[in-house]
Amino acid sequence: MPLLKLEKINQNSSWALWKIDEPFEELVQYLQFHPDDLTELHSIHHPRKQLEWLSGRAALRTLLDTENQAEFRISKDDKGKPFLHDQIYQISLANSFPYGVAIIHRNLPVGIDIEKPSPKLLRVRHKFLSDAEAQVAQEDLHQLCKYWATKESLYKLYGRKQLSLKQNIIVKPNSTFSGNSLSADVILEDQAHPYQLNTFFWDGFYIVYSHLE
């Protein structure tokens, strides 16, 4: 199985990276889905999108296996945020072909995202960057990608559709994008909620995940 990385962040949290190189049927067999999950899978019609959907769940499956957790029934709340039925762990999933990532935490909500620098970020940067962030990023695709992945990971952590990436999720000016950690605030009702995040670069992709004790 193409598990490329499984890292324990702390005593409560771990994350994993999976690369798709096995056929569809083999992935489905490995995951041993609940029938409800199979219904969602078969609602996806594009073969590549199906593999992407499976890759994040394969990463999650390996994380749960290391914790000796057999439960693997995933549902979504009314805002589309995935959760495990037994709720032993908080989870987050993401994918970008040919990779899938997942993160778990015993107690706290988590978020993870994986993105590849792309010229399309130049066209949409005004939608997710504040003026101050845009001054830092300029036209650097790598900086733009890290901003995007950071904000997406926190958006997933909160699971609130009304959050604005531009107005409610702000990467702190003193964050360094040259290292593997950064700081950001989620602004809700004029109150700032601070978060530390880790970044990981692999094969041209940026992975950003929340770092919670």
| Domain-terminating residue out of 55, 85, 110 | 110
For residue range 87-108, what is the model confidence (pLDDT) as tens digits?
Answer: 789 999 999 999 999 999 999 9
- For residue 109, the cross-strand partners are none
Confidence check: pLDDT of 80 > 70: yes
What's the CATH code of the domain at 171? Answer: 3.90.470.20
- Predicted confidence band of residue 141 (pLDDT cuts 50, 70, 90): very high
The residue segments making up the domain with residue 92 are 3-110
Q: What is the mean pLDDT of residues 57-67?
A: 93
Portion of the chain with pLDDT greater than 90, in percent? 67
pLDDT of residue 176: 61
Instruction: Count structural domains, the chain.
Output: 2
Alpha helices in the chain (DSSP H): 24-31, 35-42, 47-66, 120-128, 131-137, 141-158
Burial of 166 (0-12, 13-18, 19+ CB in 10 A): middle
pLDDT of residue 53: 92
- Predicted confidence band of residue 77 (pLDDT cuts 50, 70, 90): confident
pLDDT of residue 13: 95
Confidence check: pLDDT of 165 > 90: yes
| Spatial distance between the Cα atoms of 130 and 200, rounded to a whole number of angstroms | 23
End-to-end CA distance of the chain: 29
Residues 131 and 76 in one domain: no
| Domain-terminating residue out of 110, 136, 157 | 110
| Domain-terminating residue out of 84, 110, 136 | 110
pLDDT of residue 162: 79
Separation in Å, CA 103 to CA 111, 122, 131, 136: 7, 28, 31, 29
Predicted TM-score (pTM) of the model is 0.93
Residues 178 and 155 in one domain: yes
Question: Structure tokens of 132?
Answer: 């101050």
Residues 187 and 106 in one domain: no
- Predicted confidence band of residue 142 (pLDDT cuts 50, 70, 90): very high
